[in-house]
Amino acid sequence: MSIISVNDLAVSFGSGNDFKQVVKNVAFDVEPGETFGLVGESGCGKSTVLGALAGRIKGWSGSVSIDGEGVGPKRSRLQLAKQQMVFQDPFGSLHPRHTIGRTLLEPLEVHGLDQRQERVERVLRDVGLPPAFRHRFPHQLSGGQRQRVAIARALILNPRILLLDEPTSALDVSIQAEILNLLKDLQERDKLTYVLVSHDMAVIAHLCNRVAVMLDGQFVEVASREQLLQGSVQHPYTRTLLDGSRGYVPPRKLAS
């Protein structure tokens, strides 16, 4: 059974002359342990889909099922705990005046979980940070370390699903690889399911089993990782994204 099932999802903002449908009746299923990608240019609606899944965007229509249970715009704490989100900006997503320990304790307090200090130390180790980092503030960490903390915060409630919104795009290229490998290792160890939003086809191909290519709020193609690697995609826009990820190739000179 699919751990995520989305049917006829539509999201609109504004009214009257300002009305805009951002997501146009998309549908997809995600299997347990799979990484499902959403890729497309800025403004295509991919982060909006993620926001609706996470319960952050309320004004949507259609049906969403998480772990076999239908969910609406309002979620219970138990429903919210099953899936957690990692954001693009590791500095902006952490409170600048809270220590790392305070940041990690907050979700445990909200959900009434015990053994809080032990959980904080364990999750820091899980993301490759020493437990002593709980005494530091975000400005005392590098970008990669801050993103590790953001991942730790998402993991501390033991979710089954992580929703990843451009989790490496604000990082240096060398640090991007470290974070992607960390996410891959955590997924294999804990049997996590990921939904990953990215504009970077290289990131998508590295992590995803399947990817939905979005254009103007719609899915134009759902392709497997093998199709991406082999270049055997169908839609011209998908091919354009793939070509762009390979860098500029100068045109061949015509024979005179």
Q: What was the pLDDT predicted at 128?
A: 97
pLDDT of residue 256: 40
17-28 exposure pattern, b = at least 16 Cβ within 10 A, e = fewer:
eeeeebbbebeb
Per-residue pLDDT, 248: 42
Burial 118-144 (b: 16+ CB within 10 A, else e): ebbbebbebbebebebbeeebeebebb
pTM of the model: 0.91
Residue 15: what pLDDT?
84
Planar angle of CA 98, 99, 100, nearest 5 degrees: 115
According to the model, what pLDDT value does residue 201 have? 87
Query: Residues of the chain whose pLDDT is less than 50?
Result: 248-256
Per-residue DSSP letters for 108-120? HHHTT-S-HHHHH
Tell me what pLDDT residue 6 has. 98
- Domain architecture of the chain: domains with CATH: 4-211+222-245 (3.40.50.300)
> Around Cβ 182, how many Cβ atoms within 10 Å?
18
Q: What are the tokens at 248? A: 């500029």
Handedness of CA 211, 214, 218, 220 (dihedral sign): negative
pLDDT value of position 16 = 86
What angle do helix axes 100-110 and 143-155 make, rounded to 10 degrees?
Answer: 20
